[in-house]
Structures are given as structure tokens and as C-alpha cells.
Chains A and B, each alone.
Chain A
Amino acid sequence: MTPKDKLLIRKICAHAFLIGFIALVLAPFVMVVTASLRKGNFAPSRVFLSPNEYSLEHWKFVLGVPYEEVVNAATGEKRVIRAGTPPLLWFWNSIKVSLIASTGIILLSGTAAYAFSRLKFRFRKPTLVGLLILQMFPLLLALVAFYVILDFTGQYLKWLGLNTHPGLIMVYLGGISSYIWMIKGYFDTIPLSMEESARIDGASRFQTFLRILLPMSLPIFAVVFILSFIGYMSEYPVASVVLQTSDNWTLAVGANSFLYEQEKLWGRFAALAVLSGVPITVMFLLCQRFVIGGLTSGGVKE
């Protein structure tokens, strides 16, 4: 066997492995898409469908387009199916909550990270360690506490209680510790001499933060925004406890509502799942251009 043949075999094996692996990873996703296009309410199990199994009924339901369904096969009786609460409303709720919460996260964790990275104050180190430990506990653990707190605030501020979006956003803004660490770590890699130079030029602390540090930190802020956005778009436990009426639901809670004990409406669930992937993909594409490596290159000599 010549070396060329060996190389060819190696290439084929490598490609076969990669294609197989990718197929394995993509298969569940494709199955969900297929389930959303399948007539009836079968759980995602098939990758390919035969032509007569296709149906757009689930998508029509999700997008709020009323359609007719045969109720009684014998009599041919039809009825119009329309969602009680349009799923698109849940879609909009999710986007609204995620966008606002992500923006809040950036503001809060960015400024906090600046303090931890650049300022000197008592208990700085213990607070940082405390945050590190705190971030190990998922938001979910404090579910009961959230309920009680929101119930309390709802008594005094109607718009900030249980079953409100501001209330949910307020709870979401508490998941800040890991993002503070990420941003602080990034700030630590930016040499202090740039801010000192700005200080000599006459910039106040805030101007330095705004005009020097922030533009240089766009990559990490883009990353934090995407991560928190994805997290909140797909968050279920807290949202399901806080939001109680169906017109307040987010996508995750709404999708789950289709899984009745007696009849799990997988078709609609799958359609909603695919729908929730759209804003995340869009957000990724938008934020991608900010995640440019080497943003500080040329500014200082390492």
C-alpha cells in the first residue's frame, strides 16, 4: 500500500467519522422539526416522513392561523381550531423578558465587575469568593423564596408581583454572579495603563469606563448577552411558578402546557421548540461581529 493510499483511507475514515458524528448530533434536532411537521401528535421519533404524513396544522396553530379539522371521520364534521391564547403572544413575552433581563444583566454585572476589578474596598476578596460560591447554586433552589418575595412586593406594587413580567425580570436579574466573574476576568486582562493614560488626559472614572474600557470589552459583553439571552429564553421552572395566567406565559411555559397528562400534543410542542430557536439564532448572528478576538492588540505591548 503506497503512502498515498494510506492517506486516502485516513481521509475517508476521518470524514466518515465526522459526518457520522454530526449526523448523530443533528438527528434529535431534525427529529423535532419533523415532529412539528407531522400529522397527528406523535413524539419526535422519525427523521424522515412519507409524503402523506406531512401536515402544517401544528405550525398553523402556533402562528395563530385558524384551520379546519375533521372531528368525526364518519360524518365528516369539521371544526375550526384556534388557540385560546395565541402562542405568538408567548413568543413575544419570551423575547421581551429575555431582552430586558439580558440588558439589565449587562448593566449590573458590567458595573459590578468594574468595581471588583478596578476599585479597592474592604471585603472585596471575600465578596468575590462569596459570589463564586453563590453561582454554584442554580436559581431554581430559591423558588419558594421567589414566590414569597414576589407575593410580598405584589401587595405594595401591583406591577412588580407574582404573575407579572417585571416581577419575573427582577428575579432573573439575581442570576448575576457568574457573569460578574466572567466580565471581571476580562477586565483584569486589560492593562491598567490605558485607563491611567485616559486619567492623565483628563477623563473622569466614568468617562474612562464609557469611552475606553467599554469599547475594548465588547467581546465579553456580547458573550454575556448571548449567554443570558439563551438562558432566559429557555428558562422553565422559575417562569412556570411566577407566571400564572396563560397570557403572561413565556414560550417555555406555554410549550409545556401542551403536554397534558392524557394527550401530549407533541406536534405543537415541537413547533414551539423550533420557534424558540429563531430569536436565539438571530441574536447569535447579530452579536457575532462584536466577538472579535484581539480587540486590544496594538494598544499595548505585551
Chain B
Amino acid sequence: MSEGSVQIKDLVKTYTDDRGRPTFTAVKKINLNIDNGEFMVLVGPSGCGKTTTLRMVAGLEKISSGTISIGERVVNDLEPKDRGIAMVFQNYALYPHMSIFNNMAFGLQLAKKKKDFIQETVSKTSRALGLDSMLERKPQALSGGQRQRVALGRAIVRNPQVFLFDEPLSNLDAKMRVQMRSEISRLHTQLGNTMIYVTHDQVEAMTMGDRICVMKDGLIMQVADPLTLYRKPENLFVAGFIGSPPMNLLKGKIQKRDGGLFFVESAEKDALNLPLQGRLEPLAAKYVDKDVVFGIRPEHISNEPQEGSNTPVTMTVDISEPMGSESLVYMKAGTGNVIARIHGENLYHQGDKVTVQLNLDKVSLFDPQTENVIR
């Protein structure tokens, strides 16, 4: 049963002007396999090509080269309506001159389905989405969240193999966003269809996705499940993109001193000098006297030693953000601030000298040239 699987092979999209001359390559040859029933999130900064990729799967953008297959069927030359997809747009794209009922029924009406069938399908879906009391209203009489649900309903009524979402929650306020997020996740559990979800919000990506595809400048940076992306980023971009507050990334060199390996920050003042042990040693050994980027997540810097190899560092507090059960403490280091997530209700003030323990087992080292992680 693979009707909902999507295979993207060597996909390229180059935009051209009116005369057919190439102007901009938005997608630069990507390969991605999405399993049937998977919730795949395409995430990345603006302009990374995620929406273009989604639109090529939908059939709204012409494919410059490469193939897209839905359910083992190459769909390059198929019209959107024949691909077995349905799409939910960022700005809802509801037809303002039609009632909610007609909005959802439009596709079925075009396909000349019987009136009873249309009535039944639309009623069922609208009931499931809590819209059955507003079927005669026009979109302008609905709230943002309700309109988005109508857009969802319109997609569900099409009974597609693959659902495509183009940043559907970006236009909602924070509270509505959290609510719709769980509704979409619940929908996925109920229907079980393949869903491809585009967003620039990494929190949405992490909470909703079975797997996440991080994109940048038209290329795929990494594809993995959320936890793997978080724990084992394969390059600097993913490391800095996933996680909030972001991973601390310090530039420096590996030096051999007194028989041990040290990470020395490249800075005049407040340069950190960190002795490296355990898991990091063999990795650092390959880069002696070379530039590296030292990456550690805020929660792996704490005031008490954690499981594994730890190294103590004393730093001066710059800013402190007490959140209640923990504080986000910004401490001065050579090339910027180091953010630490320190548990407890202690208050930290600017100028305080704090000794923190860095959990070396959770550190990632990156090659600044290739931007890849050092394995």
C-alpha cells in the first residue's frame, strides 16, 4: 500500500522571465523519499525553496528537471486535479462570493458528482470540523481559525492520497496556532494520509513532524526525525536552526597542551579554554591546530555536573532571563554570549561570576570550511 508515498528525484526548479531566459534557481537538485502515511515537514528560512518544492508536488509550478512520483506514478505531466493531492494555503484561499458549503463542494460540483453524494460528504466533513452550523455563511463572516478549518475541510472532501500544507498557521494568533497544530496532528492520526507540511517555524516542525527536512538555498541540509535532528545535527545550519534558544556556536582552534587537547576560542578577550575529554578526544585529534566550531546546547551547560564527561568553566553573567523554574543566563565569552539553561530559582545578576559545567558528551564539533559536523 504505497499510494500515498512521494518520491522526489533530482528535482530542479529554475525560474525564467517572459522570454524564457533563466533568472533564478530556487531548487537545486534535491532527492527526498516520503513514506505512505508519513507526516513530513519541510522547514527552512524564507527563500530556501520549500514552498517551491511543495508547489511542484502539487502541480502548480512546472518542474524544470527531475521527477516527482506519487504512489509510484510519475506525476510530472499530470494536472493538479489528477495527482490525488489537496492543498491548504497560507491565506486560506476561500472563494469569498460562495457560501462555506459551496466552497467545500466546489471540487465535487466540477467533477459532476451527484447532489446527494456532495451533500453527504460535505456534511460529514463539516460536522467533524465543527462547521456544520455555518454552512450557509460566507467566508467573511467567519473568524481566522474557522476559515482555516474550512480550508482544511475543502481539502479533506477531495479525499486525496497526499495532503499539502503551505504554512497554514502563519496567519493565526499564537493561541489559535497551538490549537490548530493539535487539530492537524489529530487529523493525521485519524486519516492516516501522507502529509507534507511547509513551515518556517521550527517549533511547528519539531512538534508535528514524523520526519523533518531542513532546507537552505534550494538544497536539503538534513532529513531526519526531530530528535535525531536535535541531537545529531549534520551541519552548522541545522545545528543553529533547530532548537530554541539556539545552540551555542563558538569559533576557535584545537590545541595540544600539557599532553591534553584543548578548545581555545579565537578571541582577544574572555576567550574560553576548554579541556576536551571522552568522546570528543578522537574527533578533536583530527583537527589539532585547525579551526573548528564548538557547539553546545544551552541545556547542556548547568550549575551541576551531568552524566558523562564534564568540564567546569567560569564566566561572567551578561544578561539573565528568569523563567520561573529555570533561568536563561547569557554569559560573556570571547566571540559572543554563551546561553545556558540553568535549573532552579536562583537569580543571576549582571557581573556575577558563575562556574558552570559543560557536558562534553553532548558537544558537536564542526568544520568551519565545509560546515559539516566532525565525526
Q: Report how far A121 CA is from B266 CA in the complex, Å.
A: 55
Decide if B140 touches A197 in the complex (CB within 8 Å).
no
Decide if A201 touches B147 in the complex (CB within 8 Å).
no
Partner of B171, one of A196, A202, A301: A301
Decide if B140 touches A191 in the complex (CB within 8 Å).
no
Chain A: CB-nearest residue to B86: A200
Q: Report how far A194 CA is from B96 CA in the complex, Å.
A: 9
Question: How does the 8 Å CB contact mask read for A260-302 relative to B, with 1 for contact and 0 for none?
Answer: 0000000000000000000000000000000000111111111
**In the complex, what's the smallest C-beta–C-beta distance from B309 to chain A, in angstroms?**
51
Interface residue A10 (Cβ < 8 Å from any Cβ of B):
no
Q: Report how far A191 CA is from B171 CA in the complex, Å.
A: 15
Interface residue A216 (Cβ < 8 Å from any Cβ of B):
yes
Decide if A299 touches B95 in the complex (CB within 8 Å).
yes
Q: Report how far A197 CA is from B139 CA in the complex, Å.
A: 15
A203 / chain B contacts, CB cutoff of 8 Å: 106, 110
Interface residue B19 (Cβ < 8 Å from any Cβ of A):
yes
**In the complex, what's the smallest C-beta–C-beta distance from B225 to chain A, in angstroms?**
29
A191 / chain B contacts, CB cutoff of 8 Å: 91, 93
Question: How does the 8 Å CB contact mask read for A150-191 relative to B, with 1 for contact and 0 for none?
Answer: 000000000000000000000000000000000000000001
Decide if A302 touches B95 in the complex (CB within 8 Å).
no
Q: Report how far A302 CA is from B140 CA in the complex, Å.
A: 13
Decide if A196 touches B60 in the complex (CB within 8 Å).
yes
Decide if A296 touches B58 in the complex (CB within 8 Å).
no
Chain B: CB-nearest residue to A207: B110
| Number of B positions contacting A (CB below 8 A) | 35
B147 / chain A contacts, CB cutoff of 8 Å: 298, 301
Q: Report how far A300 CA is from B110 CA in the complex, Å.
A: 22
Between B20, B97, B106, B141, the greatest number of chain A beta carbons within 10 A of the residue's beta carbon is seen for B97
Chain B: CB-nearest residue to A123: B18
Q: Report how far A199 CA is from B95 CA in the complex, Å.
A: 13
Q: Report how far A216 CA is from B95 CA in the complex, Å.
A: 9
Decide if A200 touches B18 in the complex (CB within 8 Å).
no
Partner of B97, one of A196, A198, A295: A295
Between A121, A203, A207, A301, the greatest number of chain B beta carbons within 10 A of the residue's beta carbon is seen for A301
Partner of A201, one of B20, B106, B140: B106
Decide if A200 touches B87 in the complex (CB within 8 Å).
yes
Between A120, A193, A202, the greatest number of chain B beta carbons within 10 A of the residue's beta carbon is seen for A202
Partner of B91, one of A121, A125, A295, A301: A301
A197 / chain B contacts, CB cutoff of 8 Å: 87, 89, 93, 95, 154
Interface residue A212 (Cβ < 8 Å from any Cβ of B):
yes
Partner of B18, one of A120, A216, A301: A120
Decide if A202 touches B58 in the complex (CB within 8 Å).
no
B91 / chain A contacts, CB cutoff of 8 Å: 191, 193, 300-302
Decide if A122 touches B171 in the complex (CB within 8 Å).
no
B139 / chain A contacts, CB cutoff of 8 Å: 298-299
B96 / chain A contacts, CB cutoff of 8 Å: 216, 295-299
Q: Report how far A207 CA is from B58 CA in the complex, Å.
A: 19
Interface residue B191 (Cβ < 8 Å from any Cβ of A):
no
B138 / chain A contacts, CB cutoff of 8 Å: 298
Decide if A198 touches B106 in the complex (CB within 8 Å).
yes
Question: Would A202 and B110 be within 8 Å (CB), given that A298-B138, A298-B142, A301-B144 are in contact?
Answer: yes
Decide if B171 touches A200 in the complex (CB within 8 Å).
no
Decide if B93 touches A125 in the complex (CB within 8 Å).
no
**In the complex, what's the smallest C-beta–C-beta distance from A20 to chain B, in angstroms?**
42
A296 / chain B contacts, CB cutoff of 8 Å: 96
**In the complex, what's the smallest C-beta–C-beta distance from B153 to chain A, in angstroms?**
13
Interface residue A118 (Cβ < 8 Å from any Cβ of B):
no
Interface residue B297 (Cβ < 8 Å from any Cβ of A):
no
B85 / chain A contacts, CB cutoff of 8 Å: 200
Decide if B107 touches A215 in the complex (CB within 8 Å).
no
**In the complex, what's the smallest C-beta–C-beta distance from A123 to chain B, in angstroms?**
7
Decide if B81 touches A199 in the complex (CB within 8 Å).
yes
Interface residues of B (CB under 8 A from A): 18-20, 58-60, 79-81, 85-87, 89-97, 106-107, 110-111, 138-142, 144, 147, 154, 158, 171
A-B contact pairs, 13 of them (CB 8 A): A124-B18, A125-B18, A194-B93, A196-B87, A197-B89, A197-B93, A199-B79, A203-B106, A203-B110, A216-B96, A294-B140, A299-B95, A301-B92
Interface residues of A (CB under 8 A from B): 120-125, 191, 193-194, 196-203, 207, 212, 215-216, 294-302
